């Protein structure tokens, strides 16, 4: 007789295979290879490819440099309120990438809040670079901050005792320990920028990048075959990033002792100015689109007004918001259950390496590519244009990170709990319900928040899969933005930011409260 | 209480023979220590006895019944882990009564029996505390109570005192011996600590490279080591320790 456990594992494996690899296989099979040479020889495609590489390389360099200095400031300088700073740095992750572009446009575009006094316009190459940096540096910061947290601080004491210079200590300890995190951050940021179409769509103007080219080919010209070929190009950096994550990431390193920075006023002051400067710029951009949303007319009549808000409200804001909340809630619930269950098998049982690789493989598939593959695979089925397909594509798209959160948390738990269950004649289900889940509650909440927030902001994965009845709120932004209704697009971004702040904030408060209660005990 | 008979137990990991034709018996209510250095196969043996791992060949008989392929749950054995493995989200009392409650489904009865067991291990007054509020020694007492409350016929210990400091070890050793005398449970105790094995056991089994070097009373193992390995690992070590203590105390040999 087949055990229940084996059956559950089989269905999880089947689910991962059908939702990740099947659509990709169908997509690749439907490519007309004659289109390949036509596309490659097209000047506009080559131009877009070149533009993408140029923008991505430059923006990755700036993003990583800023994130490194911010992470260094948090971990290796004497600053108060580091936790608050950390929250502020990661706050921009709560809005879609297109909103960063929108913020930049309202601040430094033609007639922008700032640029109108100096007569310049950021739209184009530099707009995409700055927008991409704004969108990705919090992601790089989180990865590097994690890396800094893992550095064993006793190594610094050893260097001091051995009389190493500061430069030698940096090379031998900081850089060596951070190498993996740094490479991981570079790959992650490169992939994010290379495959993002939110920022270039908002602030790119005539400077076309590859994802925008794909978007126009599929949405504008309905050239699905060309779209698929472009998707393959978008997959390349993501695929290398994925391989790197599998082979090089070390999930188990831990710090023996937390680092206490030496006294150095000048270092602290310079880095504080840098940190506050970056935060100021980020919040000016964020504030700019919020300001835009509540001003009547930025040029002719710059007074407080709720007209744009009322306009969006009258145009079914509540209905789209409900769609988004409904989708995000379902994604968060089912995504959390599913990724937690998969992580339970892979982390608590050594036999499931293939399931582990399958679960993190969605890291290698950009949202647009996943969305396109779902369109091609399911467009003749009853799922197409339903909430079900939107929920499914979001779960698959965002699964890797929450899965890794659960995987790491479950790996840290005592490996003997299940053995205790076996010896004491307690069913594994009870051990999972009464021991494993209660001891990873904080992680489960974080996973829920991650799924929810990202489903609220995603555009790329769902852009080809909605209809008027199921359209999520985030897709109103490119719609308004395309019609040059920037204030209305800003209103939508603002509403998304509010919802995400509410969810992320409540979960952070809940987790903090629980930690404090535990500490007081 | 139960007696056990292990016959020709063999276990291989790829090419490496971890347990090589191991045969021994454990009598009713006996305290047997399995002594050996790291990698000698003692933990693998314990895991096979409890049923977490399988053997390649050989037999495990409990009270004459073959349990080699029996599920862990049906073996009626308890186990105390090296790192205690207490459930961090449950109090001391909840940790002890959890499995019992699931088994008998009577909360008050499970509570009463668990409190009785906590009294035996001297932890009754800490029943409301969580594991992280206890010292290592206290946590190990709770782990012992959790294993004993289900009234197993045999209880296995996987180096239970290796994470404790010297003082705590001494106290817990005495208490464990008293508990064993009181409950007459058959106990199999794994350790790499010679003193621990000699002070606790009715018999000591010395293992090396997956084989039994000697199995006998502590007195015989100490005075008549069966091999050069037993002599160097056990006898010589203990004699050196005694002589260094005597030197420190100013006694001339």
Q: A426 with A418: CB under 8 angstroms?
A: no
d(CA B87, nearest CA chain A) in Å: 6
Q: B234 in a domain, yes or no?
A: no
Q: Which of A293, A318, A335 is the last residue of a domain?
A: A293
pLDDT in tens, A459-499: 888 888 888 888 889 888 888 888 888 888 889 989 999 99
- Chain A contact present for B88, CB below 8 A: yes
Contacts of A429 in chain B (CB under 8 A): none
In this structure, the answer to whether residues A201 and A313 fall within a common structural domain is no
Task: Give the pLDDT score at A479.
Answer: 85
Question: Cα separation of B72 and A133, whole Å?
Answer: 56
Nearest residue of chain A to residue B74 (CA atoms) = A425
- Chain A contact present for B54, CB below 8 A: no
Task: Give the pLDDT score at A63.
Answer: 95
Q: A271 with A73: CB under 8 angstroms?
A: yes
d(CA B52, nearest CA chain A) in Å: 7
- Chain A contact present for B77, CB below 8 A: yes
In this structure, the answer to whether residues B21 and B36 fall within a common structural domain is yes
Q: Where do the H-state alpha helices sit in chain B?
A: 42-50, 92-104, 107-120, 136-148, 166-183, 194-200, 218-223, 228-230, 236-248
Residue B159 has pLDDT above 80, yes or no: yes
Question: Cα separation of A208 and B172, whole Å?
Answer: 74
Question: Cα separation of A176 and A151, whole Å?
Answer: 9
Give the distance, in angstroms, between the CA of residue A195 and the centroid of all CA atoms in the same chain.
12
Q: B247 in a domain, yes or no?
A: no
Asked if A434 and B150 come within 8 Å (Cβ–Cβ), the reply is no
Contacts of A426 in chain B (CB under 8 A): 98-99, 102
Contacts of B88 in chain A (CB under 8 A): 439
Nearest residue of chain B to residue A417 (CA atoms) = B85
Count of domains observed in chain A: 2
Q: A46 in a domain, yes or no?
A: yes
Question: Cα separation of A254 and A150, whole Å?
Answer: 5
- Chain A contact present for B98, CB below 8 A: yes
Residue B128 has pLDDT above 60, yes or no: yes
CB burial readout A131-157, b (16+ within 10 A) else e: bbbbbbbbbbbbbbbebbbebbbebbe
In this structure, the answer to whether residues B178 and B207 fall within a common structural domain is yes
Out of B77, B85, B132, closest to residue A417 by CB: B85
Closest CA to A172 of A191, A151, A190: A151
Out of A417, A426, A439, closest to residue B99 by CB: A426
- Chain B contact present for A425, CB below 8 A: yes
In this structure, the answer to whether residues B22 and B134 fall within a common structural domain is no
Asked if A424 and B78 come within 8 Å (Cβ–Cβ), the reply is yes
In this structure, the answer to whether residues B27 and B144 fall within a common structural domain is no
Confidence of residue A249 (pLDDT cuts 50, 70, 90): low
Asked if B72 and A424 come within 8 Å (Cβ–Cβ), the reply is no
Contacts of A348 in chain B (CB under 8 A): none
Nearest residue of chain A to residue B79 (CA atoms) = A423
- Region of B37 (left: φ > 0; alpha: ψ -120 to 50; beta: rest) is beta
Average pLDDT of chain B, as a whole number = 87
- Chain B contact present for A349, CB below 8 A: no
Q: A23 in a domain, yes or no?
A: no
Give the distance, in angstroms, between the CA of residue B124 and the centroid of all CA atoms in the same chain.
23
List all residues 6 or more positions away from A388 whose beta carbon is below 8 Å from its beta carbon.
none
CATH number for the domain spanning B165: value is 3.40.50.300
In this structure, the answer to whether residues A321 and A286 fall within a common structural domain is no
In this structure, the answer to whether residues B5 and B19 fall within a common structural domain is yes
Task: Give the pLDDT score at A252.
Answer: 41
In this structure, the answer to whether residues A306 and A250 fall within a common structural domain is no
Q: B150 with B103: CB under 8 angstroms?
A: yes
Mean pLDDT of A293-311: 77
Mean pLDDT of A188-199: 87
Percent of chain A with pLDDT over 90: 20
Mean pLDDT of B158-175: 84
Phi first, then psi, for residue A297 (nearest 5°) are -145, 120
d(CA A417, nearest CA chain B) in Å: 6
Give A87-92's long-range contacts (Cβ < 8 A, gap of 24+): A87/A508, A88/A279, A88/A283, A89/A138, A89/A141, A89/A278, A89/A279, A90/A138, A90/A141, A90/A142, A91/A138, A91/A282, A91/A286, A92/A134, A92/A135, A92/A138, A92/A282, A92/A286
Question: Cα separation of A212 and A198, whole Å?
Answer: 8
In this structure, the answer to whether residues B65 and B159 fall within a common structural domain is yes
d(CA A503, nearest CA chain B) in Å: 26
Please report the ipTM that was assigned to this predicted complex.
0.83
Q: What letter would DSSP give residue A485?
A: -
Contacts of B103 in chain A (CB under 8 A): 425
Q: B100 in a domain, yes or no?
A: yes
In this structure, the answer to whether residues B207 and B145 fall within a common structural domain is no
Task: Give the pLDDT score at A2.
Answer: 59
Out of B51, B81, B89, closest to residue A439 by CB: B89
- Chain A contact present for B99, CB below 8 A: yes
- Chain A contact present for B103, CB below 8 A: yes
* 3-state SS assignment for residue B35: strand
Asked if B81 and A521 come within 8 Å (Cβ–Cβ), the reply is no
List all residues 6 or more positions away from B110 whose beta carbon is below 8 Å from its beta carbon.
B97, B100, B101, B104
In this structure, the answer to whether residues A500 and A517 fall within a common structural domain is yes
Full-model pTM: 0.84
List all residues 6 or more positions away from B7 whose beta carbon is below 8 Å from its beta carbon.
B23, B58, B59, B60, B61
Asked if B88 and A425 come within 8 Å (Cβ–Cβ), the reply is no
Asked if A424 and B85 come within 8 Å (Cβ–Cβ), the reply is no
Contacts of B132 in chain A (CB under 8 A): 521
Q: Which of B99, B132, B151 is the last residue of a domain?
A: B151
Closest CA to A459 of A366, A373, A386, A387: A366
Confidence of residue A254 (pLDDT cuts 50, 70, 90): low
Confidence of residue A255 (pLDDT cuts 50, 70, 90): low
Confidence of residue A451 (pLDDT cuts 50, 70, 90): very high
Closest CA to B168 of B160, B178, B180, B179: B160
Out of A417, A426, A521, closest to residue B102 by CB: A426
* 3-state SS assignment for residue B253: coil
Closest CA to B202 of B185, B213, B216: B216
Q: Which of A293, A328, A352 is the last residue of a domain?
A: A293
Domain that holds residue B199: 1-69+155-216
In this structure, the answer to whether residues A356 and A445 fall within a common structural domain is yes
Number of H helices, E strands in chain B: 9, 10
List all residues 6 or more positions away from A470 whose beta carbon is below 8 Å from its beta carbon.
A323, A385, A386, A387, A390
Number of H helices, E strands in chain A: 26, 2
Mean pLDDT of A120-127: 86
Residue A404 has pLDDT above 80, yes or no: yes
In this structure, the answer to whether residues B170 and B64 fall within a common structural domain is yes
Q: A198 with A101: CB under 8 angstroms?
A: yes
Asked if A416 and B78 come within 8 Å (Cβ–Cβ), the reply is no
In this structure, the answer to whether residues A330 and A471 fall within a common structural domain is yes
Q: Which of A260, A293, A326 is the last residue of a domain?
A: A293
In this structure, the answer to whether residues A394 and A288 fall within a common structural domain is no
Nearest residue of chain B to residue A416 (CA atoms) = B85
CATH number for the domain spanning A341: value is 1.10.3720.10
- Chain A contact present for B238, CB below 8 A: no
d(CA A348, nearest CA chain B) in Å: 14
d(CA B89, nearest CA chain A) in Å: 6
Task: Give the pLDDT score at A253.
Answer: 47
Q: What letter would DSSP give residue B126?
A: G
Asked if A424 and B146 come within 8 Å (Cβ–Cβ), the reply is yes
Out of B52, B103, B147, closest to residue A419 by CB: B52
Question: Cα separation of B71 and A45, whole Å?
Answer: 63
Question: Cα separation of A36 and A33, whole Å?
Answer: 5
In this structure, the answer to whether residues A400 and A273 fall within a common structural domain is no
Residues in chain A: 521
Question: Cα separation of A486 and A196, whole Å?
Answer: 20
Contacts of B98 in chain A (CB under 8 A): 424, 426, 434
Residue A416 has pLDDT above 80, yes or no: yes
- Chain B contact present for A438, CB below 8 A: yes
Q: A18 in a domain, yes or no?
A: no
How many alpha carbons fall within 13 Å on the CB side of residue B217? Answer: 4
Asked if A420 and B81 come within 8 Å (Cβ–Cβ), the reply is yes
pLDDT in tens, B5-34: 999 999 988 888 889 899 999 998 899 999
Q: A184 in a domain, yes or no?
A: yes
In this structure, the answer to whether residues A283 and A357 fall within a common structural domain is no
Count of domains observed in chain B: 2
Q: A217 in a domain, yes or no?
A: yes
Q: A348 with A415: CB under 8 angstroms?
A: yes
Confidence of residue B203 (pLDDT cuts 50, 70, 90): very high
pLDDT in tens, A68-118: 999 998 888 887 778 888 888 888 888 888 888 888 888 888 777 777 777
Task: Give the pLDDT score at A191.
Answer: 86
In this structure, the answer to whether residues A413 and A509 fall within a common structural domain is yes
List all residues 6 or more positions away from B41 whose beta carbon is below 8 Å from its beta carbon.
B11, B18, B19, B22, B207, B209, B210
- Chain A contact present for B13, CB below 8 A: no
* 3-state SS assignment for residue A105: helix
Tokens of A40: 């490659």
Q: Which residue has the tokens 């990991």?
A: B13
First and final C-alpha spacing in chain B: 44
Task: Give the pLDDT score at A256.
Answer: 53
List all residues 6 or more positions away from B109 whose beta carbon is below 8 Å from its beta carbon.
none
In this structure, the answer to whether residues B169 and B47 fall within a common structural domain is yes
In this structure, the answer to whether residues A42 and A91 fall within a common structural domain is yes
Out of A417, A423, A521, closest to residue B50 by CB: A423
In this structure, the answer to whether residues B107 and B135 fall within a common structural domain is yes
Q: What letter would DSSP give residue A438?
A: G
Question: Cα separation of A76 and A15, whole Å?
Answer: 44
In this structure, the answer to whether residues B59 and B169 fall within a common structural domain is yes
Give the distance, in angstroms, between the CA of residue A389 and the centroid of all CA atoms in the same chain.
20
- Chain A contact present for B87, CB below 8 A: yes
With residues binned 3-state (H G I as helix, E B as strand, rest as coil), the percentages for chain B, rounded to 5, are: 45, 25, 30
Asked if B78 and A423 come within 8 Å (Cβ–Cβ), the reply is yes
Contacts of B146 in chain A (CB under 8 A): 420, 424
CB burial readout B156-169, b (16+ within 10 A) else e: bbbbbbeebeeebb
Radius of gyration of chain A (CA): 24
Radius of gyration of chain B (CA): 19
Asked if A439 and B98 come within 8 Å (Cβ–Cβ), the reply is no
Q: A17 in a domain, yes or no?
A: no
In this structure, the answer to whether residues A237 and A207 fall within a common structural domain is yes
Q: A304 in a domain, yes or no?
A: yes
Q: B10 in a domain, yes or no?
A: yes
Out of A416, A430, A439, closest to residue B85 by CB: A416
Q: A235 with A242: CB under 8 angstroms?
A: no
Question: Cα separation of A220 and A473, whole Å?
Answer: 21
- Which helix (H) or strand (E) segment holds residue A417: the answer is helix A417-423
Q: B230 in a domain, yes or no?
A: no
Higher pLDDT, A359 or B207: B207
Contacts of A425 in chain B (CB under 8 A): 73, 99, 102-103, 150
Mean pLDDT of A168-175: 82
In this structure, the answer to whether residues B63 and B160 fall within a common structural domain is yes
Average pLDDT of chain A, as a whole number = 84
Asked if B72 and A521 come within 8 Å (Cβ–Cβ), the reply is no
Domain that holds residue A474: 300-521
Q: B129 with B86: CB under 8 angstroms?
A: no
- Chain B contact present for A119, CB below 8 A: no
Nearest residue of chain B to residue A425 (CA atoms) = B73
Contacts of B77 in chain A (CB under 8 A): 423
């Amino acid at each position: 007789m087949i055990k229940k456990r084996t059956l559950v594992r089989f269905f999880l494996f089947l689910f991962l295979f059908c939702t990740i690899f099947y659509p990709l296989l169908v997509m690749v099979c439907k490519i007309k290879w004659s289109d390949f040479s036509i596309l490659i020889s097209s000047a506009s495609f080559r131009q877009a490819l070149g533009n993408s590489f140029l923008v991505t390389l430059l923006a990755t360099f700036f993003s990583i440099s800023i994130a490194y200095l911010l992470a260094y400031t948090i971990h290796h300088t004497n600053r108060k309120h580091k936790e608050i700073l950390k929250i502020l740095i990661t706050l921009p992750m709560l809005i879609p990438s297109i909103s960063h572009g929108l913020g930049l446009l309202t601040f430094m575009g033609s007639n922008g809040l700032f640029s109108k006094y100096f007569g310049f316009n950021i739209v184009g190459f530099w707009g995409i670079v700055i927008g991409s940096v704004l969108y990705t540096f919090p992601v790089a910061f989180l990865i590097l901050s994690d890396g800094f947290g893992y550095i064993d601080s006793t190594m610094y004491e050893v260097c001091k005792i051995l009389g190493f210079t500061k430069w030698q200590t940096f090379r031998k300890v900081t850089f060596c320990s951070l190498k993996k995190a740094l490479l991981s951050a570079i790959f992650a940021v490169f992939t994010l920028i290379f495959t993002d179409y939110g920022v270039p769509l908002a602030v790119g103007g005539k400077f076309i990048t590859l994802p925008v080219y794909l978007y126009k080919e599929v949405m504008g010209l309905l050239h699905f075959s060309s779209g698929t070929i472009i998707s393959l190009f978008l997959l390349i950096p993501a695929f290398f990033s994925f391989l790197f994550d599998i082979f090089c990431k070390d999930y188990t390193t831990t710090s023996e002792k937390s680092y206490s920075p030496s006294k150095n006023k000048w270092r602290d002051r310079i880095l504080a100015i840098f940190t506050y400067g970056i935060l100021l710029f980020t919040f000016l951009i964020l504030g700019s689109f919020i300001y835009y949303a509540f001003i009547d007319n930025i040029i002719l009549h710059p007074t407080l007004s709720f007209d744009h808000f009322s306009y969006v409200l009258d145009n079914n804001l509540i209905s789209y918001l409900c769609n988004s909340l409904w989708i995000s809630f379902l994604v968060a619930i089912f995504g959390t259950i599913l990724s937690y269950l998969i992580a339970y098998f892979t982390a608590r049982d050594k036999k499931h390496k293939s399931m582990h690789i399958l679960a993190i493989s969605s890291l290698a598939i950009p949202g647009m590519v996943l969305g396109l593959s779902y369109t091609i695979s399911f467009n003749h089925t009853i799922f197409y244009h339903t909430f079900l397909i939107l929920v499914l594509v979001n779960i698959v798209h965002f699964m890797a990170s929450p899965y890794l959160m659960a995987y790491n948390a479950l790996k840290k738990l005592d490996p003997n709990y299940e053995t205790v269950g076996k010896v004491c004649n307690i069913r594994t289900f009870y051990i999972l319900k009464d021991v494993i889940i209660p001891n990873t509650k904080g992680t489960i909440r974080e996973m829920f928040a991650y799924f929810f927030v990202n489903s609220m902001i995603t555009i790329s994965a769902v852009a080809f899969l909605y209809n008027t009845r199921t359209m999520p709120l985030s897709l109103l932004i490119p719609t308004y933005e395309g019609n040059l209704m920037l204030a209305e697009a800003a209103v939508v971004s603002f509403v998304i930011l509010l919802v995400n702040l509410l969810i992320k904030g409540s979960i952070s408060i809940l987790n903090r409260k629980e930690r404090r209660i535990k500490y007081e005990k | 209480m139960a007696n056990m008979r292990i016959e020709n137990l063999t276990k291989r990991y790829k090419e490496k023979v971890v347990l090589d034709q191991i045969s021994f018996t454990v009598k009713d209510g006996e305290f047997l220590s399995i002594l050996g250095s790291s990698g000698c196969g003692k933990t693998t043996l314990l895991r096979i006895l409890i049923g977490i791992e399988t053997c390649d060949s050989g037999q495990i008989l409990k009270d004459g019944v073959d349990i080699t392929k029996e599920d862990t749950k049906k073996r009626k054995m308890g186990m105390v882990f090296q790192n205690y493995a207490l459930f961090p989200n449950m109090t001391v009392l909840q940790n002890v009564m959890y499995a019992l409650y699931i088994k008998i489904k009577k909360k008050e009865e499970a509570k009463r029996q668990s409190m009785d067991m906590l009294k035996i291990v001297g932890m009754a007054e800490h029943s409301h505390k969580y594991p992280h509020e206890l010292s290592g020694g206290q946590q190990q007492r709770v782990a012992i109570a959790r294993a004993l409350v289900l009234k197993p016929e045999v209880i296995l210990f996987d180096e239970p005192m290796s994470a404790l400091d010297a003082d705590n070890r001494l106290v817990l050793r005495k208490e464990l011996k008293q508990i064993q005398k009181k409950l007459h449970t058959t106990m199999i105790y794994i350790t790499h600590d010679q003193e621990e094995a000699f002070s606790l056991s009715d018999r000591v089994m010395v293992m090396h490279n997956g084989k039994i070097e000697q199995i006998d009373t502590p007195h015989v193992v100490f005075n008549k080591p069966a091999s050069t390995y037993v002599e160097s690992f056990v006898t010589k070590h203990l004699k050196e320790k005694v002589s260094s203590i005597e030197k420190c105390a100013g006694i001339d040999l």
